[in-house]
Structure 1
């Protein structure tokens, strides 16, 4: 049996016990979990044979929540208005019935732009060409009429809006104004000198299976003509570019510190975002049947929101999950920043570990109040 390394503060022993129960039931289980409460680290645990506290690995769509913190900063500073149309900032976007689509609608998966014919090349994601192709695309449904998870294209939308209003890249703003300022061990664009810390996400099955019809909504959504979403962070060119939809890499401690830094502040410092900005960005925009997945889902502006099938926090919580079951979020109700990163992608045989750990952290925080 593998034992955990790290610590759980007094009152958080239940989190440690739960994490070690996961290690006991599966000898291959390898993960990191971390939490901050009111700006102070209260949990930082690592366990299993395939990971250390310093291991950096992929977290897939958890990257979207990180990128959304940059969007939140642009909104806070008045550069981006959620109630303006996307075409106001990006005139070329306003074709094929997309001229009335609001920024808040586009960034809550209502655009109907799941992908483009033929998919995006891996070296195309961050280029003006990708944005131009998306701007010229015809939506799969009337924009604003329903919602469906935009697994790849919401990253292109965020990045192009950021370029239009700030004149620089989303990744640069994240690195200069958030990551480096708060000492966050999470990257949208992994520097070459840190590559030795990276370890590939492990899979139990071939990530390209089952086959997806590249012309289906699901195929467009997952960029199936080019690659499997599950392969993305394991591609050096993807994590080096810091693709904001699915290319972020880092540690659970880095993610927990990040969400704490922007909401409560860390180590006695002031938070990056104001309560007003947090309330605006984390307000639920859509809930119900997701047109892309066919499952129930709920979104704020980019951020995932808790609901009965994704019960990771209080009604005020906001964050994002990843395809490998990684999870990171802030929960203002409890003053929490939380991060969970497994080394092996988790599937239906091991559901809910991240949510169970998040619940244990919340229980401990509530008891300490």
Structure 2
């Protein structure tokens, strides 16, 4: 049973859960322990900040079979990486180095090739650049791991017929933003994660690829069968043939699949950690993500310092397109510039980014609330339930935050 400790104002955590949580978040802790704990070799963490103040920082399970999860354990957060990469671009825009409505080619001249001279930064940030397809720019795993080559190949590529239409750029998104950022700053995206996001926010738990030696953050080993089923010959053949199919099936296959790409996640030190994949290989702690989204949820402020201007915050909160996404089977993603909203309780007014397997970072500006949720379980069998973790996390977080605000409101007159 989960009860609050009246003396501390905290939930008494079960033996399987480490960290702390304010008393109002007992139901969240209970559900977290049940949904994330108890899986051999797997674990996860959840952090909640309200107006920049930490109210929940909990973890459970194993980062690898012989090491328990702790506050400095990071997980590969897959597409939740995109929100951090977009935040890098917003920092550059905030300083006047990038204009959202300018053509990408204005900053990255090579990008003008093959009719791309008019594609804007805003279109790229909101998945409308028509450059989501992998088969046109890469042959297999070795190409995907060469991020500089992928940036160059996208600069030379021709957009397809879905230019202007929301179509999830599942992997190409990161290389597009990296190429733009490199053209403006001369630096790669992994370095910009550190200098534009992690260091200004004092958040070590934000990395692109493997955390460097000496970092407190350690990467959890992926648990489960990962994407091994995709590598089966008949599955690969079917997905390859799906490239030519019309509609969502063909778009999804082109955005997500290349022969041999399933090997990206294999082994205790998987190849995905060896590159700069701004669309999918962020290694983040739950607290790192909650800190990033805390600045976005609180008018661009972090601990009394400005991280983004009010004008930029207004721009990132705007939904750019309500059209259904063509590569995500017509899900209403409600794309912002680098983030998305969700039509689920507790989430429709916020924004963030969910990754493969369900890890995510989230901002709820109405409450000044931010959330980071990470875990290392990735298996075909558990995927459907894990992918929608936000559907139980966010409503419980919002409920706890409302209760915490009421408690604070009642306590202030009494203290006065």
* Structure 1 and Structure 2 fold alike (TM over 0.5): yes
Partner of 1:57: 75
Partner of 2:361: 328
What is the SS of the residue equivalent to 1:47?
A: strand
Segments of 5+ residues of structure 2 without an aligned counterpart are 1-13, 244-250, 406-416
Partner of 1:273: 308
Partner of 1:368: 404
Partner of 1:213: 240
8 Å contact from structure 1 (residues 2, 49) kept in 2: no
Partner of 2:265: 231
Partner of 1:113: 131
CA distance in 2, matches of 1:298, 1:350: 21
Alignment CA distance shift 1:205-1:121 (3 Å) = closer
Q: Does 1:140 align with 2:173?
A: no
Alignment CA distance shift 1:73-1:142 (3 Å) = same
Q: Does 1:348 align with 2:384?
A: yes
- Greater CA drift, 75-84 or 239-248: 239-248
Question: Greater RCO between the two (CA within 8 Å, min separation 6)?
Answer: 1
Q: Does 1:201 align with 2:201?
A: no
Structure 1 counterpart of 2:197, from 169, 178, 194:
178
CA distance in 1, matches of 2:113, 2:267: 33
Alignment CA distance shift 1:150-1:281 (3 Å) = same
Alignment CA distance shift 1:334-1:207 (3 Å) = farther
CA distance in 1, matches of 2:323, 2:395: 23
Structure 2 counterpart of 1:258, from 271, 279, 292:
292
What is the SS of the residue equivalent to 1:355?
A: helix
After superposition, residues 311-326 of structure 1 pair within 5 angstroms as: 313-315=347-349, 317-326=350-359
Structure ranking higher in helix proportion: 2
Alignment CA distance shift 1:96-1:312 (3 Å) = farther
How many angstroms does 1:13 deviate by? 2.0
Spell out, residue by residue over 1:339-362, the C-alpha distance to the aligned partner (whole angstroms, 9 max, x if none).
111221241245533331121111
Spell out, residue by residue over 1:138-163, the C-alpha distance to the aligned partner (whole angstroms, 9 max, x if none).
2221521x111001111111011111
CA distance in 1, matches of 2:158, 2:266: 26
Alignment CA distance shift 1:2-1:122 (3 Å) = farther
8 Å contact from structure 2 (residues 170, 256) kept in 1: yes
Alignment CA distance shift 1:222-1:246 (3 Å) = same
Partner of 1:11: 24
How many angstroms does 1:108 deviate by? 0.9
Normalising by structure 1, what TM-score? 0.88
Partner of 2:207: 187
How many angstroms does 1:88 deviate by? 1.7
CA distance in 2, matches of 1:135, 1:267: 35
Partner of 1:292: 327
Alignment CA distance shift 1:85-1:44 (3 Å) = same
How many angstroms does 1:134 deviate by? 0.9
CA distance in 2, matches of 1:90, 1:352: 37
- Greater CA drift, 86-95 or 267-276: 267-276
CA distance in 2, matches of 1:274, 1:232: 41
How many angstroms does 1:223 deviate by? 4.6
Segments of 5+ residues of structure 1 without an aligned counterpart are none
CA distance in 1, matches of 2:395, 2:94: 30
8 Å contact from structure 1 (residues 2, 23) kept in 2: no
Partner of 1:153: 172
How many angstroms does 1:33 deviate by? 0.7
8 Å contact from structure 1 (residues 31, 47) kept in 2: yes
What is the SS of the residue equivalent to 2:59?
A: strand
CA distance in 2, matches of 1:205, 1:303: 25
After superposition, residues 301-316 of structure 1 pair within 5 angstroms as: 301-308=337-344, 313-315=347-349
- Greater CA drift, 233-242 or 268-277: 233-242
